[in-house]
Structure formats: structure tokens, C-alpha cells
């Protein structure tokens, strides 16, 4: 499996420094948070996009994902959501990223209504994603935090251009065990986001292996099935300012993931 980390752990850091951290600490790729407060987002021009591509290319690091904030199950008109997705897809295409991350965002709607809205929008966007060589991944998050929730939507879409991003924290908080999540998401899985926290009541990010999330069990499920995709460490420093800084933790985090992979081989 290949290892990546998310720039959510180093908010606002210049791309040159992100690339350096990845290369120096042995990560194969980076998940780029595509928000206007970050160096890379849909509003940057073609020359800036080309510069980003070149920096990653020179370092031999991949741009794994454009992590957007489109909420595909949110109430309201489809057009603004689809426009947002299309702008993220164009950015991912220009950067050579494999994926675009989207959220559910269904709020308090009945599950069947939120599922239908999300499926309709993803079905509309998925062919465009495929044409651009990109895949849209619905993250297990908020209104659809379990694998079974995301799979309901993706089953309705039934298009390779739409898949799942498994956030191990959210499925665990949804009381879904990795042994249950894996077979549900396996037909749709793009990659896995790993992280660690102290408890269900304290989701402040911790160094990998120092919290309570079932990382070993999750990696074992993937390894047993022969899955050979990406593990991406999403350290949510942006939302927890008192959390330790990510850069000093990156090497140990890579080593921890490597140990889990070796133990499950």
C-alpha cells in the first residue's frame, strides 16, 4: 500500500514545504485540501496549477486527491453543487490527481431523501469525472458516516466515476466495526483515511497508534483481502489548534503504518 498525508494537518503551508515534508518523511503522496484559505483551490489559475504539478513531479510525490467541500446530499438546487464539483474535477484533472473528495452533508433530512439527492448529483457528475480521468469519492462523514450509509448512495449511482472514501474515525463513531465496513465498501473503495483520537468524546487528533481507533484491525481487513491502495493520514490540526504540530509526527506516523502493514502481511 502507498502512504499519504492530508494538508489539513499543515493548514496554509506553502506547497514547496508540503512537498518537502512528504519527500523527507517517506510519503508517496499528498491529499490537498482545496479551500480558498489554502495555496491550492479551484480559484487558482493555469500557471499556478502548472507550478504545483512541477513541484510535486520534481520531488517524486503524487497528488492523490483534491479534497473539496461540496455537500452532495445538502438541501437546495442541484446546480450550485454540481458547479462546485465540476470546478473541483477540473482542478484535479489539471493537477493529475486521481480523486476529488466530497461530503454527504444531508443534515436532518430523512435518510431516503438525502440518499436520493446525493445519488442524483453524483450520477450527473460521475460521467464527467470519468471523462477527466478523475474519480469522485464520497467520504464516510456527517449524515452518512458509516460504510452502509455511503454504500446505499453509491449503489443507486452505480457508476465507476463515483466511489467511497473510508474515514476510519467516522465509521467507528457510527458503531460500525471494520470487519463490517470492509465488505460493504470494498466494491466502491477509493482509499482509506487513517487517524487517531483519545475517545468518542475527545476527537482531538493524536499521533498514530496512541489513541483508540481500530487502525490495526482495519489494515488487517484490507491486507487479508489483498487490497493494494492508499492509506492517507488525515490529522485535523486545522480544527484543533491545541493539537501538536504534524511535521514532527510524520516520520513516526509513517513507521507506525509500515509496522501495521508488515504485521498484517
Q: What is the C-alpha separation between 241 and 238, in angstroms, rounded?
A: 6
Kind and range of the H or E element at 230?
A: strand 230-233
Would you state the pLDDT for residue 259? 94
Q: What is the C-alpha separation between 12 and 139, in angstroms, rounded?
A: 22
Would you state the pLDDT for residue 264? 82
- What is the tally of structural domains in the chain? 1
Residue 142, all three cell numbers: 456527517
In a 3-state reduction of DSSP, which class is residue 20? helix
| Parent domain of 177 | 2-264
Residue 90: CATH number of its domain: 3.20.20.150
Would you state the pLDDT for residue 241? 87
Would you state the pLDDT for residue 23? 98
Q: What is the pTM of this model?
A: 0.97
CB 128 within 8 A of CB 88: no
CB 64 within 8 A of CB 97: yes
Q: What is the pLDDT along the chain (265 residues), one digit of tens a residue?
A: 999 999 999 999 999 999 999 999 999 999 999 999 999 999 999 999 999 999 999 999 999 999 999 999 999 999 999 999 999 999 999 999 999 999 999 999 999 999 999 999 999 999 999 999 999 999 999 999 999 999 999 999 999 999 999 999 999 999 999 999 999 999 999 999 999 999 999 999 999 999 999 999 999 999 999 999 999 999 999 999 899 999 999 999 999 999 999 988 7
CB 219 within 8 A of CB 261: yes
Would you state the pLDDT for residue 22? 98
Amino acid at each position: 500500500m502507498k502512504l499519504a498525508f492530508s494538508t489539513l494537518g499543515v493548514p496554509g503551508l506553502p506547497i514547496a514545504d508540503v512537498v518537502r515534508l512528504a519527500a523527507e518523511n517517506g510519503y508517496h503522496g499528498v491529499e490537498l485540501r482545496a479551500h480558498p484559505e489554502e495555496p491550492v483551490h479551484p480559484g487558482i489559475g493555469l500557471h499556478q496549477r502548472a507550478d504545483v504539478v512541477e513541484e510535486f513531479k520534481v520531488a517524486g510525490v503524487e497528488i492523490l486527491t483534491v479534497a473539496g467541500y461540496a455537500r452532495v446530499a445538502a438541501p437546495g438546487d442541484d446546480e450550485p453543487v454540481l458547479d462546485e464539483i465540476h470546478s473541483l474535477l477540473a482542478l484535479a484533472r489539471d493537477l493529475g490527481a486521481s480523486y476529488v473528495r466530497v461530503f454527504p452533508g444531508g443534515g436532518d433530512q430523512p435518510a431516503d431523501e438525502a440518499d436520493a439527492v446525493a445519488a442524483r448529483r453524483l450520477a450527473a457528475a460521475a460521467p464527467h469525472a470519468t471523462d477527466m480521468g478523475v474519480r469522485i469519492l464520497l467520504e464516510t462523514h456527517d449524515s452518512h458516516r458509516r460504510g452502509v450509509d455511503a454504500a446505499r448512495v453509491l449503489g443507486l449511482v452505480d457508476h465507476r466515476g463515483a466511489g467511497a472514501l473510508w474515514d476510519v474515525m467516522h465509521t467507528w463513531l457510527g458503531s460500525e466495526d471494520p470487519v463490517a465496513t470492509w465488505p460493504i465498501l470494498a466494491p466502491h473503495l477509493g482509499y482509506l483515511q487513517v487517524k487517531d483520537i483519545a475517545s468518542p468524546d475527545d476527537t482531538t487528533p493524536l499521533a498514530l497508534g496512541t489513541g483508540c481507533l481500530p487502525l490495526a484491525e482495519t489494515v488487517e481487513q484490507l491486507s487479508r483481502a489483498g487490497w493494494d491502495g492508499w492509506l492517507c493520514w488525515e490529522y485535523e490540526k486545522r480544527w484543533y489548534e491545541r493539537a501538536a504540530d504534524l511535521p514532527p509526527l510524520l516520520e513516526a506516523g509513517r513507521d507506525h503504518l509500515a509496522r501495521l502493514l508488515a504485521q498484517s502481511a
